């Protein structure tokens, strides 16, 4: 016998000395559990609605650029997936000087995973030594570093500067192969995107690694 | 009629009071809320913060009537408000000036709490609600800053959202989820707009109510840190060192409001950009996702925390790591922790010290920046001094506070400047002092010769 017995209206209060009714406890617990599960499940669609939409996912199409007119020492910036991609035509001098930076770099051989595809895992970080292509987004917090190609001592840069990029936000420095210097906030080298050249080397396609098979 | 309340009021007010606690609420929070009679200049800033909140809400509502949260239209719609909407420029300048003045007032309000120990028992919850309000304000300022869709808006949002990508394992997906796109885009602008105009303001208002309810439950602190409720009482049981909030402090605060509005109007009409500190020059250029402006810096109120983020390089994590090891040793050997905590906390600190050098400095920069705000939640338990108010602390404590204020200002100044090796060293020293001030507080706040606290508040009638 417990509080389930019929009671008169004026004795509505449950006798506190009665033990809890196990069958009611079970239903209370079940209702709370099911309600809780349903409540948590309701959060899923709301949280998911924050993810990139189908339209945003579809917007990542490859970009084709005519590179025949980029002179040595010149850099062009194009948009790919909304990000700046740099196409830098390095001079022979600049290519030669890349090696001088090695002792000051955090990851000179691009050993850290994720930012350098296999084809760019060489001293130039590119398919062709003269053409350097990378995503111009600092690996620290995503600003776009500023080109600082002039060689030699200058404000805000080391005295033996060989030309490179300086991030205006937190002072991270990269060399002309997008390799990050030691002891700056950025942890990684600049990302090299997938790209390919056309057969006559006039066109560059950013976003694909090789020609789609016909 | 059965079940009707008996009330003292009559007429319309009586009719309402029988149905709604109007008179009793008025008495509890205004006419019979007894505040210490020795409030000084520093006590203006709480009510001023409430005033700025009202200014922000009202001007915000009117701005939304003309603003378009769309990446293609946002920048032009702000210019439309500035140039073509009648008096739109005034409403927008009030809102932009209000944002900066909110932080001025709130920083001074927090400093008051720090000086007079307003966070000490039994006011811990008031302080915690207050720090939560501060976090909401930071969120509100950050989300709102994207809306004009200028260069600073865009790259500021890019940097802050990328802070989350520094979190190990889940970071990159988390920042993608926050942006809703692979770069800051229209989707980001729309959701930030939703947070800025509805989500955070709702939470903010709730927290302000909780802050005031908690304050009125325990009563206000005062510059002497003496509890007036424990002092002598008159024959009605009212503390004789207290005076009714209304009319005494309402009139007092109106004077503060008048002074504040003089400054506020002067800025709105004569220097709304405040030399680039309140509205940054680069934000008058539409957002360009391909080019970061040559010098980007957050708005002044974020710069102290931003400087601590920049200060955390991989060399600096050696310093932080060493700090954690020393703290672990000190707590194990000399600490007053009891039982298992004596082992657990030093072990956690050692693990942190090891992780400092295994995880990236970038992550620890984010932790340092976040920690420098979150540490404030723990202030009520970090301060171990036997007295509340700075008035009765040893003189050298006052120097520590003075250096802390100067340090905060220097960190803030450095955050507005482009990075340089010299400034970086200064900011690292400043970061160590900032963190040390809080983390070592359990030690230094106990030391020294404290002055005798009076039984009653010190007050000279004028």
Check residue B162 and give its pLDDT: 87
Q: Which of A136, A142, A184 comes nearest B159 by C-beta?
A: A142
- pLDDT over 80 (residue A112): yes
Q: Which of A169, A174, A187, A189 to mutate to test the interface with B (most CBs of B within 10 A)?
A: A169
Identify the band that residue A158 occupies on the pLDDT scale cut at 50, 70 and 90. Answer: confident
Question: pLDDT value at position B428?
Answer: 95
Q: Which residues of B fall within a CB distance of 8 Å from A142?
A: 158-159, 161-162, 165
Which whole number is the average pLDDT over B4-8?
Answer: 83
Query: Which residues does chain A have within 8 Å of residue B313's beta carbon, measured at their own beta carbons?
Result: 183-185
Q: How near does any CA of chain A get to the CA of B175, in Å?
A: 10
Given an 8 Å threshold on Cβ–Cβ distance, is A170 in contact with B310? yes
Q: pLDDT tens digit string along A129-152?
A: 999 999 999 988 888 999 999 888
* Averaged pLDDT for residues B95-119: 97
Looking at chain B, which residue has its C-alpha nearest residue A144? B292
pLDDT the model gives residue B408: 97
Instruction: Kindly determine whether residue B187 and residue A56, on different chains, have CB atoms separated by under 8 Å.
Output: yes
H-state helical runs in B336-386: 341-358, 361-374, 379-382
Record: contact B181-A82, CB cut-off 8 A: yes
Res. B295 pLDDT band, cuts 50 70 90: confident
**A180-189, B92-101, B391-400: range with lowest mean pLDDT:** A180-189
Task: Tell me what pLDDT residue A1 has.
Answer: 45
Asked if A62 has any chain B CB less than 8 Å from its own CB, the reply is no
Residue A158 at interface with chain B, using a CB cutoff of 8 Å: no
pLDDT (mean) for A156-169: 87
Cβ proximity of B214 and B449 under 8 Å: no
Q: Which of B180, B294, B424 sits opposite A56 (nearest CB)?
A: B180
pLDDT at B265 over 70: yes
Cis check: omega of the bond before A42, within 30 degrees of 0: no
Segment B53-58 mean pLDDT: 98
Q: What mean pLDDT, rounded, does chain A reach?
A: 86
Residue B89 has pLDDT above 90, yes or no: yes
Cα separation, B212 vs B397, in Å, equals: 30
Taking CA–CA distances from B420, the nearest residue in chain A reads: A156
Min Cα distance A29 → chain B (Å) is: 31
Give the Cα separation of A123 and A130 in Å (integer).
Answer: 12
Higher pLDDT, B7 or B100: B100
Radius of gyration of chain A (CA): 31
Q: Mind listing the pLDDT tens digit for each residue in B393-404?
A: 999 999 999 999
Q: Sorting pLDDT into bands at 50, 70 and 90, what band is B127?
A: very high
Alpha-carbon distance B278 to B100, whole Å? 6
Residue B281 has pLDDT above 60, yes or no: yes
Q: Does A48 touch chain B (CB under 8 A)?
A: no
Give A147's contacts in chain B (Cβ within 8 Å): none
C-alpha count within 13 angstroms, C-beta hemisphere, residue B123:
24
What average pLDDT does this structure show over A16-38? 88
Report whether pLDDT(A20) > 80. Answer: no
List, in sequence order, every residue forming a beta bridge with B233; answer none if it has no partner: B239
């Amino acid at each position: 016998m417990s509080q389930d017995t019929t009671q008169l209206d004026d004795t509505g209060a449950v006798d506190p000395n009665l033990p809890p009714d196990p069958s009611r406890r079970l239903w209370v617990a079940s209702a709370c559990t099911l309600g809780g599960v349903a409540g948590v499940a309701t959060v899923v669609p709301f949280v998911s609605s924050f993810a990139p939409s189908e339209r945003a996912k579809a917007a990542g199409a490859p970009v084709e650029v005519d590179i025949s007119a980029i002179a040595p020492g010149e850099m062009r910036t194009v948009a790919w997936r909304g990000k700046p991609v740099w196409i830098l035509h390095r001079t022979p001098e600049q290519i030669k000087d890349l090696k001088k930076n090695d002792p000051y770099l955090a990851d000179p051989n691009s050993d850290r995973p994720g930012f350098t595809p296999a084809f760019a895992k060489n001293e130039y970080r590119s398919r062709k030594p003269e053409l350097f292509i990378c995503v111009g987004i600092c690996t620290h917090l995503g600003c776009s570093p500023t080109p600082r190609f002039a060689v030699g001592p200058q404000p805000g840069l080391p005295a033996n500067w060989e030309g490179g990029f300086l991030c205006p936000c937190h002072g991270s420095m990269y060399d002309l192969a997008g390799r990050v210097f030691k002891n700056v906030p950025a942890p990684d080298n600049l990302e090299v995107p997938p790209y390919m050249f056309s057969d006559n080397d006039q066109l560059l396609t950013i976003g694909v690694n090789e020609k789609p098979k016909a | 009629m059965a079940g009707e309340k008996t009330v003292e009021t009559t007429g319309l007010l009586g009719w309402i009071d029988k149905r709604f606690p109007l008179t009793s609420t008025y008495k509890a929070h205004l006419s019979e809320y007894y505040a210490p009679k020795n409030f000084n200049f520093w006590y203006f800033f709480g009510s001023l913060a409430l005033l700025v909140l009202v200014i922000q809400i009202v001007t915000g509502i009117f701005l939304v009537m003309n603003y378009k949260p769309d990446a293609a239209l946002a920048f032009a719609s702000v210019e439309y408000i500035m140039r073509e909407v009648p008096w739109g420029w005034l409403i927008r300048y009030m809102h932009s000036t209000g944002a900066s003045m909110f932080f001025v007032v709130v920083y001074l309000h927090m400093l008051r709490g720090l000086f007079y120990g307003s966070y000490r028992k039994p006011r811990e919850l008031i302080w915690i609600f207050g720090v939560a309000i501060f976090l909401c304000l930071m969120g509100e300022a950050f989300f709102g800053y994207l809306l004009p869709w200028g260069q600073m808006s865009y790259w500021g949002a890019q940097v802050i959202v990328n802070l989350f990508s520094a979190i190990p394992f889940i970071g990159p997906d988390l920042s993608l989820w926050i942006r809703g796109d692979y770069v800051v885009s229209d989707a980001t602008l729309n959701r930030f707009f939703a947070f800025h105009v509805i989500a955070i303001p709702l939470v903010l208002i709730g927290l302000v109510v909780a802050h005031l309810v908690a304050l009125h439950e325990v009563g206000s602190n005062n510059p002497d840190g003496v509890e007036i409720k424990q002092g002598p009482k008159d024959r009605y049981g009212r503390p004789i060192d207290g005076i009714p909030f209304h009319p005494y402090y309402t009139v007092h605060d109106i004077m503060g409001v008048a002074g504040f509005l003089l400054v506020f109007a002067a800025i709105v009409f004569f220097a709304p950009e405040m030399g680039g500190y309140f509205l940054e020059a680069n934000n008058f250029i539409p957002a360009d996702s391909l080019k970061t402006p040559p010098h980007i810096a957050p708005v002044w109120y974020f710069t102290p925390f931003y400087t601590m983020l920049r200060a955390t390089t991989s060399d600096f994590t050696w310093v932080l790591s060493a700090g954690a090891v020393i703290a672990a040793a000190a707590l194990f050997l000399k600490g007053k922790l009891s039982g298992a905590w004596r082992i657990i906390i030093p072990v956690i600190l050692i693990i942190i010290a090891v992780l400092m050098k295994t995880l990236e400095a970038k992550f620890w920069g984010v932790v340092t920046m976040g920690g420098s705000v979150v540490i404030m939640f723990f202030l009520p338990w970090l301060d171990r001094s036997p007295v509340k108010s700075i008035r009765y602390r040893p003189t050298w404590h006052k120097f520590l506070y003075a250096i802390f204020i100067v340090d905060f200002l220097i960190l803030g100044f450095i955050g507005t400047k482009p990075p340089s090796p010299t400034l970086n060293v200064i900011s690292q020293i400043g970061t160590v002092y900032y963190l040390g001030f809080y983390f070592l507080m359990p030690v230094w706040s106990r030391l020294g010769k404290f002055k005798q606290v009076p039984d009653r508040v010190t007050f000279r009638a004028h």
